[in-house]
Amino acid sequence: MPTGPAIILTLKVLVAAVTVLLLAALGALAAGRPRLHGRLNTLFLVLTLSTVAGFEVVLQFVDVKAAFDPATRAALRVHLLFAVPAAAVIPVMWVLGRTGRKRGHVALAGLFAVLWAGTVVTGVFFLPH
């Protein structure tokens, strides 16, 4: 059974890893390589949604009150206020990008950037080490 600290550490590592992938996708776009941008975004989508699903499964088997102290539970709630909407926006952005609807894709990218920044800050820096 995973412990609270192990869950938090795994969360931090995965958020950091997919953030590096997202930055690589943005770098590909800046370098004029939209196809690579799309492929990296597809990988980002799959890994991020797999992580969300995986954590949901893990948390079904963990007594959250026993695994996390009140401060950690509060920090996780704040993290989820950013992470859940970000995870909901990702598939919509991906579909818009894949179907060539650039205006909608870029508009959602602005919202997603704010949500993902909150996800990274709360997931990597605010959760206890």
Task: Give the domain ranges of the chain.
Answer: 4-126
pLDDT band at 1 (very low <50, low <70, confident <90, very high): confident
> 47-93, pLDDT tens digit by residue?
999 999 998 888 888 998 999 999 999 999 999 999 999 999 999 99
Q: Which residue has the higher pLDDT, 2 or 30?
A: 30
Alpha-carbon separation of residue 30 from 26, 90, 95 (angstroms): 6, 20, 20
Task: Give the pLDDT score at 8.
Answer: 94
Query: Whole-angstrom Cα distance, residue 83 to residue 81?
Result: 6
- Supply 40's token pair: 């990296």
User: Is pLDDT of 129 > 90?
Assistant: no
> 3-54, pLDDT tens digit by residue?
999 999 999 999 999 999 999 999 999 999 999 999 999 999 999 999 999 9
Query: pTM (2 decimals)?
Result: 0.90
